[in-house]
C-alpha cells in the first residue's frame, strides 16, 4: 500500500513537472513573436522629411517607429556636436552634409554603414561620404548647382538664356530698368553656410579654381567673385533682405516670382513646377549655369546624406531606416511627394525617361560637369573655415567691408587653417 502510494505520488509529480516544462517551452518559443515595436529618432532638415504615410509604411514593414525631429540645417551640426561632447547621441539617424564628413570622421562620431556593391554603383556620390574605405553616410538628396531663369520675364525684356555671369548681371539690370522686377537676381548673403557655398560655386563655375594646391584661396578668382557679389548689392539687382534671410528663402524668390535669374539647388527643378509651392509654374527653365567666357565647364555638388551616430543605442533599427530611406522605391516616392532629386542613377534615369522631371536635358548635361572645388578633398577644418568666409561676405554686403577687405579677412583664416593642417 505504501509502495503503491509512493508510485502514485511519483507519477503525479512527474506529470506535473512535464506539464510545467511543456508550458515553459511553449512560452519561450512564442516570445519572438511578441517583441514590441522599436523606436528611433531621426534628425532631418525641413526638405528631407518623408510624409506621414511613408513613415507609417516603413513602420508597418520593419516594426520600427521613426520619430522625425525637424531641425534647421544650420543647427543640426551644432546639436550633434553638443550631444557628442556629453557622450550622447543627438538622434539615432542624422543628416550628414558633404561638408561635415571630414570633421565627423576625425571626431569618430559616425558608425560605418553596411552598403552593397550594387548600391555603391547606383549612387556615385557615395564616394564623398567614404573615408579610408568606410562609408559614413549614404546620399539621399542629389544637389548640384544648375541655372534657372524666368522665360516669361526674359521674354518681356527681349532677352535670351544667359551664357556668362557678366551677361546675367547685364540682363538683370535691363529687367530692373524696364520695371519688370525690382530685384531680378538672387543668391544668399546671410551669415550662414549657404553664403559660403555661394562664393565657392560662383568662383568654381566661372573660373574652375577656388583653392590653390596648398588649400589657400586663389586670390584673383575669389576677389573677382566678391566684387561681382558686391556690385549686385550696390546696383540694386539683389534684394537687401538676403543679408538676413536664410539661404532657402533667398532661393524661394525665384519660385515666388520675385526674381528672374539664379544659380541654385537642383531641389528647385521640381519645386518650381509644384503649384502648391510655386507661383511661376511653367515659366522657369533649367539651364546649364553661366560661366566665365562661355557656359560653365564644371559645377559643384552639395550632396546631402544620412548616417548613424556611434553613440546610438539603436544601431540595428537605425540601419533599417537608412536602408529604407535610401532605397530605390523610397527615393522615387520622395521625389514624387517631397521634390527630393534622387541620388540613385537608376531612379533619376527612370524619372527623366518618364517625363516626371522637366528640363531633363539641361539637368543631365549639368550633372556630367560635377567636380570638386577642393583639390585635396573637403578639409577636416571646413566648419572652422566656413564662418570666416560667410561673415566676411555678410559684412561686405552690409557695407562694412570692401571686397578687398572681405578677401583679406577670410584669406587670413583660411591660410592659417591650411598651414596648421599641413604641419
> Are both 38-143+302-343 and 153-300+374-422 of the same fold?
yes
Backbone torsion region of residue 132, taken as left when φ is above 0, otherwise alpha when ψ lies between -120 and 50, otherwise beta: left
* pLDDT at res. 371: 84
Quick check: 301 pLDDT over 90? no
Lowest average pLDDT, out of 5-9, 48-52, 136-140, 278-282, goes to: 5-9
Among 250, 260, 305, residue whose Cα is nearest residue 284: 260
pLDDT tens-digit profile of 86-122? 999 999 999 999 889 988 998 999 999 989 999 988 9
The mean pLDDT of 276-293, rounded to a whole number, is 95
Q: In whole angstroms, what is the distance from residue 25 CA to residue 15 CA?
A: 15
pTM score, whole prediction: 0.76
**Class of CATH domain 38-143+302-343:** alpha beta
Helix residue spans in 86-143 (DSSP H): 101-107, 117-122
Spatial CB neighbours of 34, under 8 Å, sequence gap ≥ 6? none
The mean pLDDT of 182-196, rounded to a whole number, is 96
CATH superfamily ID and name for 153-300+374-422: Periplasmic binding protein-like II (3.40.190.10)
Parse the chain into domains and list their residue ranges: 38-143+302-343, 153-300+374-422
Q: Give residue for cell 521634390.
A: 339
Confidence of residue 132 (pLDDT cuts 50, 70, 90): confident
Amino acid at each position: 500500500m505504501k509502495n503503491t502510494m509512493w508510485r502514485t505520488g511519483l507519477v503525479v509529480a512527474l506529470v506535473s513537472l512535464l506539464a510545467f516544462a511543456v508550458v515553459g517551452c511553449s512560452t519561450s518559443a512564442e516570445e519572438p513573436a511578441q517583441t514590441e515595436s522599436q523606436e528611433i529618432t531621426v534628425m532631418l532638415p525641413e526638405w528631407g522629411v518623408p510624409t506621414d504615410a511613408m513613415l507609417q509604411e516603413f513602420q508597418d514593414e520593419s516594426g520600427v517607429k521613426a520619430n522625425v525631429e525637424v531641425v534647421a540645417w544650420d543647427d543640426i551640426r551644432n546639436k550633434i556636436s553638443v550631444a557628442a561632447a556629453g557622450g550622447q547621441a543627438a538622434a539615432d539617424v542624422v543628416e550628414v552634409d558633404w561638408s561635415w564628413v571630414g570633421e565627423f570622421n576625425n571626431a569618430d562620431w559616425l558608425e560605418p554603414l553596411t552598403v552593397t556593391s550594387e548600391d555603391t554603383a547606383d549612387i556615385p556620390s557615395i564616394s564623398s561620404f567614404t573615408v579610408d574605405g568606410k562609408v559614413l553616410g549614404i546620399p539621399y538628396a542629389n544637389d548640384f548647382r544648375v541655372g534657372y531663369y524666368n522665360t516669361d520675364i526674359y521674354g518681356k525684356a527681349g532677352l535670351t538664356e544667359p551664357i556668362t555671369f557678366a551677361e546675367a548681371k547685364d540682363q538683370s539690370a535691363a529687367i530692373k530698368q524696364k520695371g519688370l522686377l525690382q530685384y531680378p537676381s538672387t543668391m544668399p548673403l546671410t551669415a550662414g553656410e549657404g553664403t559660403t557655398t555661394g562664393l565657392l560655386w560662383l568662383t568654381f563655375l566661372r573660373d574652375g579654381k577656388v583653392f590653390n594646391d596648398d588649400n589657400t584661396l586663389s586670390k584673383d578668382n575669389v576677389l573677382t567673385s566678391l566684387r561681382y557679389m558686391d556690385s549686385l548689392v550696390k546696383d540694386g539687382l539683389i534684394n537687401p533682405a538676403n543679408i538676413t534671410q536664410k539661404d532657402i528663402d533667398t532661393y524661394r524668390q525665384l519660385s515666388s516670382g520675385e526674381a528672374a535669374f539664379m544659380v541654385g539647388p537642383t531641389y528647385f527643378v521640381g519645386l518650381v513646377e509644384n503649384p502648391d509651392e510655386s507661383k511661376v509654374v511653367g515659366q522657369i527653365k533649367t539651364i546649364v549655369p553661366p560661366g566665365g567666357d562661355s557656359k560653365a565647364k564644371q559645377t559643384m555638388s552639395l550632396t546631402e546624406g544620412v548616417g548613424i551616430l556611434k553613440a546610438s543605442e539603436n544601431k540595428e533599427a537605425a540601419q533599417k531606416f537608412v536602408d529604407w530611406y535610401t532605397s530605390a522605391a523610397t527615393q522615387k516616392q520622395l521625389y514624387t511627394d517631397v521634390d527630393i532629386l534622387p541620388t540613385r542613377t537608376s531612379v533619376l534615369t527612370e524619372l527623366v525617361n518618364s517625363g516626371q522631371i522637366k528640363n531633363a536635358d539641361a539637368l543631365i548635361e549639368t550633372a556630367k560637369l560635377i567636380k570638386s572645388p577642393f583639390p585635396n578633398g573637403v578639409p577636416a577644418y571646413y566648419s572652422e573655415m566656413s564662418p570666416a568666409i560667410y561673415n566676411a561676405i555678410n559684412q561686405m554686403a552690409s557695407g562694412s567691408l570692401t571686397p578687398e577687405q572681405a578677401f583679406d579677412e577670410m584669406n587670413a583664416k583660411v591660410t592659417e587653417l591650411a598651414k596648421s593642417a599641413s604641419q
